[in-house]
Amino acid sequence: MKQFVKAILLMTTALAAFCSGQTSYFGGIDVGSKGTKAALFSLTNTPEGDEIGPIFGDTINTKLVSSMKDGDFTEDGIKDATDAAKRLIEEMKTAANEKRLSDVTYYIVGSSGVAIGKNKEALKTSVEAATNVGMTFIDATREGYFGLESSVPAARATTSMYIDIGSGNTKLGCLVGGLDKKNFKSNEIKYGSVSLRNEARKRRPDDIAAGIHEVLKEVAAKYATDSEDIPCLRNRQRIYWTGGAAWATATFMRPDKALNARVVLTKRDIETFLARLNDGTWNQRNPVLIFPKDMPPARQAKIRAKAQADRKSVMDIFVREDLLSGVSLMKTVLESSNPSAVLVFGRDSGFIYGVAEEKFHQGSNSESASR
């Protein structure tokens, strides 16, 4: 009996060791309000937590939400998003073949801002027919939890807050009592960078900045009320921020951190970037990169190249008004929660990675994945 028990313990230990170093590959597509994003990446389980290894990424702007009428996606909008998803799946498969990745789990998820479309099933049918990959939709709570899971280091997960400012809405949340999903306290702001811009223009067509200010006064009042019931939305010392506005702020205010997975930002960074967005000089200044004296020239060259590529990508994807809306929204949340909090931009973060982590640990769902 002792030998049997010993054998079982050895097998269990060996299995744990195997699983702790296990790597899987995923190709995820996020069908969002403003654009469709693809991420091909590896996911490795380590004693410190899951590690994401980016392999390929691309984003295609679409008119899926901007062309909506009375809560329905238009035929043109659906076709636009479908074509984007098909192209991105093909791009990821090409990249996977080049890397000789033989076993990749592909999946497509409609964001919470897209899930509100009354005819979302028509979108799902179109995308699945074109890509041969299953599509699901996510709600704001799960989107926020998965975003936190992929953005915040496990050691800081219960002492930090997460905010994702998307195009259609904003997801916020924090964990109270442990890492389990049931401990996630969520909140949603109905505006994102694009929907806030649209609402501001509707209210003040002659002065979009004034319109943004008017809407955000209402957002601040509601946030103050909501956070009375969810104190962690006010009291956390670190706020992890994702989404296009976060990426743009890090790109233009901290170009020397272009290769960092996480970038620390300050309230002053936000205020300075907002000032430049307001006066139109945000993309007129040449980036200033300051490197440590001992940094090798090859490393400096890589950072410069990435910083320049990111600047171009931001300007290709966003107009000034979108960034003005998104960064203003972040400033409002920061001032309504904890103005002294440390801000951290998570570069390779977002709900699309959290969905993969769930698949990684629970097994792929045949309805939403294709190999």
Distance of CA 303 to the CA centre of its chain: 22
Q: Where are the alpha helices (DSSP H) in the chain?
A: 2-20, 75-98, 112-115, 120-131, 140-151, 193-203, 208-229, 232-235, 244-253, 267-279, 297-317, 320-337, 351-362
- Residue 181 to residue 145: CA distance in whole angstroms: 7
Q: Do domains 22-137 and 153-349 have the same CATH topology?
A: yes
Q: How confident is the model over 288-309, as a mean pLDDT?
A: 95
pLDDT band at 250 (very low <50, low <70, confident <90, very high): very high
Sheet with 184-189: strands ordered across: 184-189, 170-175, 160-165, 238-242, 342-346, 262-265
Percent of the chain's residues with pLDDT above 70: 91
Q: How confident is the model over 215-237, as a mean pLDDT?
A: 95
- Residue 223 to residue 220: CA distance in whole angstroms: 5
CA angle (285, 289, 292) in 5-degree steps: 165
Indicate the DSSP class of residue 339.
T
Q: How confident is the model over 33-38, as a mean pLDDT?
A: 89
- Burial classification of residue 138, based on how many CB atoms lie within 10 Å of its CB (0-12 exposed, 13-18 middle, 19 or more buried): buried
The whole-model pTM stands at 0.82
Gyration radius (Cα) of the chain, Å = 21
**Identity of the residue numbered 332:** T
Q: How confident is the model over 280-301, as a mean pLDDT?
A: 93
- Residue 269 to residue 175: CA distance in whole angstroms: 27
Q: Give residue limits of the domains in the chain.
A: 22-137, 153-349
More confident residue, 342 or 365: 342
45-96 pLDDT per residue, tens: 877 667 888 999 999 989 898 888 999 999 999 999 999 999 999 999 999 9
Domain 22-137 has CATH 3.40.50.300: no
The confidence score (pLDDT) of residue 224 equals 94
Which of 166, 189, 186 has its CA nearest to residue 174? 186
The confidence score (pLDDT) of residue 48 equals 67
How would CATH label the architecture of 153-349? 2-Layer Sandwich (3.30)
